[in-house]
Structure 1
């Protein structure tokens, strides 16, 4: 039975927390789910269903759970023409043309799925926003979606284009200190809240990748964010201001710019502003060190932004369970208030007390029948929701729950399937960006290897900017002898990062004959890691083939085909990368490792102008 109300609830459980207890009612065994709100009870009901689905005991229950993070949102990079930037699962779920008159039944399915994970918000449109999203017709469309999502505890948010006062407001400026601009945003917020009383607020990408922002007028990020916060604040709204900023005018290492710009602004943001920070300082790469902003702004709340859609990890066809990636960054110790000041604790508002906390995930959801482009990519949506509720949750436990609910509870299936998932992201790192290399993908679409690209408009868009391969070695020197990006971390954290071989070439430029911990030279180790990644995909293929008796033929065949694609493309990554870097290393391959079957010119000649996910 379900009971809502505050009586008998543990202290501090809040409006979204719940308890599940086995008890007796009128002399009969019963299970009570209780919380202060209907939304809390709904979350508790889904928790109980998860126990049933995963065949856990449902007697003797005494469970209390509350989210450790307040704002748990998906960011949809969906455009008004239904194209999804970095989307690999079909068109946008939102049929803007038919809204508000027609509501696709899948909107309810979407809301229910998110509620089952504890996700409580969704940003409907791309961070590269169009001002049209803030016009009356599109506000009405967003209101229709909000009506559908509301019973499932999900608030809608909109990405706001900073130049909207010019584009749709007939003003000549978007200067955040201009009274007419402030009046525009106040009126726009009032208009939205009349249509959507529980509107969550705005997400903003400003002064990044050509997007307009307050710096266009000599103002700061805080000036821009606070103007919008002033508009939505009376309605209870918030502003999520992205820290993903970089510009060609900055002569320094690109990965330093966000900390350089935001740390000096600490304490100047309004209370209803939260700065949204990517997991790493570059751009959702297969592996990056944690972002130096975490813990560096004690007076400014920060929310973690991760990417569910695998822009840099093989799109929908490569199996890459991202739970271990997110666990890695959440468990990283910032040392900002001594040992144990992990990113998770920063995000939870516990390192420096924060009332506003959040976690955002760039969605991988589209119109494909399986929602995410592949069955295993659903696991990343699932893991995000679970980790946003509890950043201390373990990726393996989450993977096991997902496997049991999605495929089978048979132990003979669960153990190998979870093992395959847990090693999958590391396989991608090995065949794409081993030993701390980064941003080696081809231009624009980011499909396939392109470590040779050196002819783009901006240096920091090119792979050669990041790997810096030359006759004397490879890697980006970010120590004190180089850009000193490592100096943006607390000293203890910097020491740990420099000692971590997984980030070796992120922080150091080293000779090809440098000896790594295995005893091999750096060149030999690179080749070994590339080949290891390929072999790991082969092992995943063998594991999946052995699991055929436990999976329906249709899903098994599709995933087998995707793994075959991944194996072929992992080999391509390996061969192209080895052929290219060898032109600098000028050394033989280690014994037992095959030569690339084609010339470097062949790999460089490959072109994929219609690969999905273009920006």
Structure 2
């Protein structure tokens, strides 16, 4: 009777659902059928264990076999085009037995095929009619962890770092394995363990041993580890007087350090480097170029098959005219000068992960250089972990953007390497993962991690389709439930754009911690640290003139796009004030003036969040109490903060233009002085 009571308690509807299982919420009753996995490798063992964990009852036998297995020869399967990581899943008769076959050219392909099969079943499809085939369009699919060695996560809003650096390498938290499982399930194959604002001690023997322990855990899941490297490490660790990449002693130091790392981690992926940006050291300190620095490091790791990911985020006080032009100006002249194991990592936009900004002009502009796009999964500028903002549409919007450089070329085709047929390609996402029990601070933040992985595998996927499969795996496949949640997700990012920076406005948040509005900030030491630098609002108008009458940043885009962006009548409204400084009374295609349109969009953003609240409230009977309540609470926070953003922003704009609000639009709750007086020195994720 006690056993029966315990079982009933575990199965009761009121039992806690804390979000730990992410989208891998496998059935309570799993299959007991045979799983044939041969030959026995650590990767295939991980795949077989996942099948035992996740196959539903009645699934029947599953066979994991590489394409070269003699038993599959008579099937003549189309596996040649699958590459190293692709998979094929289908029903087949092997040696007279009907099985669900998972195959590929490598054990990693079989691992990804295993997760594809489990995703297929979790989204309500039948195993009897399974027919799946896919291979990744992008080779490097990497999470960048901005985790510091003291456990603080820069721009992290889900607790402290997942890595317990103090206890590694001895203590190996089982959660590290679950992290690897989650990443493998969506095709992520690499992890940068430490912050791009790197400490040199990350490369000391003590920390190499810690990274090696994590690499051992991740390896069976097809995940390589990478390290952010501090460019001045030869000085700080090696006692050299210089870090000049042209100095033979510096190059020798990096070769020796790379050899040391590869002895501990034979499949180490390579280095990520932030150089000459925000005070970080780099080759330009010595009159050398980014190519000089990247190529020196690339030569050090090349004998081991390693790569260098060199960030193009060169945010320095070098162009007082327009910060948005800096990366293009420094990297365009270097096209074709990087080694073949260097990939330049470019943020999706030219400023800094704003809720919306045009795609970075480097995409399409340096065709001889492989480019790796960098997205931010953690929501530094989209409400931290508190606001529901599904980022799939943001990622999709950028990847689908036409570069204009060549016919049909998109940012996605540049990133995948398809446009220029580069041998290396990549997509990086700044992780939103911490040690919170639900990994990312809320259920819906998990969807952004998921969407990044799925789009890194296939940039052509639809963000709405990704949302559907995530909801079905996370909350259940009841069509009514799924159809109710997807609209909440689909409009959520646009709502944040509306109440924080409509019509192409950007970088309007309070400085430092980036929490809440601060469009009035104008007293910081460098011009490009101040929000007023980006909106240029005054009594006459608003917006940053990036046409030839202003900074001429439009000239960094392909001619066809440059012509469109130079004309406010042809510039999309979503990017209008990014490219143009317009009078408040300038009449738009909507029939409203700039001022009227701004107010309308601020109001729309607030209204959208209220609608999200209503939709979510109606779902209470269909969702477990724990996850429903946490989301409802966070939506209440978002509604309050959306109104705060709207009211504070309008109060400030009205102080400039002296215009009344359009009829029907409510006045701000407080005066401008009240909003300016707010202070949040303890906001999370802010490096101190």
> In the alignment, what sits opposite 1:364?
432
Structure 2: gaps (5+ residues):
1-62
Distance 1:235 1:26, change over 3 A: closer
For residues 597 and 342 of structure 1, what CA distance do their matches in structure 2 show?
Answer: 44
Q: State the shift of 1:461 in Å.
A: 1.1
- Of the three residues 87, 90, 94, the one matched with 1:25 is 94
Cα deviation, 1:347-397, whole Å, max 9, x if unaligned, reads 111111100000000000000000001110000000000000001111000
Corresponding residue for residue 191 of structure 2: 122
**Distance in 1 between the 2:515 and 2:320 partners?**
28
Contact 2:320 2:527 in 1 (8 A): no
Q: Which residue in 2 is equivalent to 1:186?
A: 255
Q: Indicate conservation of the 8 Å contact 2:79/2:104, yes or no.
A: no
**Match for residue 649 of structure 2 among 577, 586, 598:** 577
Find out whether 1:381 has 2:449 as its counterpart.
yes
Matched, 1:228 2:297: yes
Query: Counterparts of 2:525 and 2:128 in 1: how far apart (Å)?
Result: 63
* 1:167-201 Cα distance to aligned partner (Å, 9 max, x none): 01100100000011000000000000000000000
Q: Does 1:538 align with 2:648?
A: no
Give 2:674's match in structure 1, choosing from 581, 595, 602. Answer: 602
Aligned to 1:503: 575
* Residues 207 and 245 in structure 1, CA contact (< 8 A), matched pair in contact too: yes
CA contact (8 A) 1:206 1:245 kept: yes
Q: Distance in 1 between matches of 2:649 and 2:534?
A: 14
1:223-262 correspondence runs (5 A): 223-262=292-331
Alignment of 1:312-331 (within 5 A): 312-331=381-400
Scaled by the length of structure 1, what TM-score is found? 0.99
Deviation at 1:288, TM superposition (A): 0.4
Q: In 2, distance between residues paired with 1:252 and 1:127? A: 26
Match of 1:449 in 2: 517
Which residue does 1:586 correspond to in 2? 658
Does the Cα contact within 8 Å between 2:588 and 2:594 map onto a contact in 1?
yes
> How far did residue 335 of structure 1 move?
1.6
Which of 264, 267, 280 is equivalent to 1:211?
A: 280
Check if 1:467 corresponds to 2:535. Answer: yes
After the TM superposition, which residues 555-574 of structure 1 pair with which residues of structure 2 at under 5 Å, given as runs?
555-574=627-646
Q: Give the structure 1 partner of residue 218 of structure 2.
A: 149
Structure with bigger gyration radius: 2
1:137 to 196, 202, 206: 206
8 A Cα contact 1:9 1:34, kept in partner:
no
- In the alignment, structure 1 residue 107 sits paired with structure 2 residue 187: no
Q: Secondary structure at the match of 1:12?
A: helix
TM-score for the superposition, normalised by structure 2: 0.88
**CA-to-partner distance for each residue in 1:229-276, whole Å, 9 max, x for gaps?**
000000000000000012113233100110110010001000000000
- Report 1:34-433 matches (<5 A): 34-338=103-407, 340-433=408-501
The CA distance in 1 between the partners of 2:492 and 2:283, in whole Å, is 41
Answer whether contact 1:408 1:550 (CA < 8 A) is retained: no
SS in 2 for 1:377: helix
How big is the shift at 1:57? 2.8
Cα deviation, residue 496, structure 1? 4.7
Aligned counterpart for 1:2 among listed residues 49, 64, 68: 64
Residues 33-67 of structure 1, C-alpha deviation per residue, up to 9 Å, x if partnerless? 10111111010000000011110232233321000
562, 580, 585: which one pairs with 1:494?
Answer: 562
1:517 paired residue among 580, 589, 593: 589
For the residues of structure 1 that align with 2:178 and 2:524, how far apart are their CA atoms?
42
* Whole-Å separation in 2 of the counterparts to 1:486 and 1:58: 52
Deviations 1:406-464 (Å, cap 9, x if unpaired)? 01211111012011101000000000000000000001000000000111121101100
Q: Aligned equivalents of 1:431 and 1:583: distance in 2?
A: 18
Identify the residue that residue 552 of structure 1 maps to in structure 2. 624
Question: Quick one: distance in 1 between partners of 2:284 and 2:97?
Answer: 66
What is the deviation of 1:504?
A: 0.5
Q: 2:507 aligned to 439, 452, 474, which one?
A: 439
Cα shift at 1:27: 4.3
Bigger shift: residues 417-426 or 486-495: 486-495
- Once residues 167 and 314 of structure 1 are traced to their aligned partners in structure 2, the CA distance between those partners, rounded to angstroms, is 37
Check the 8 A contact 1:523/1:585 in 2, yes or no: no
Q: CA deviation at 1:80?
A: 0.2
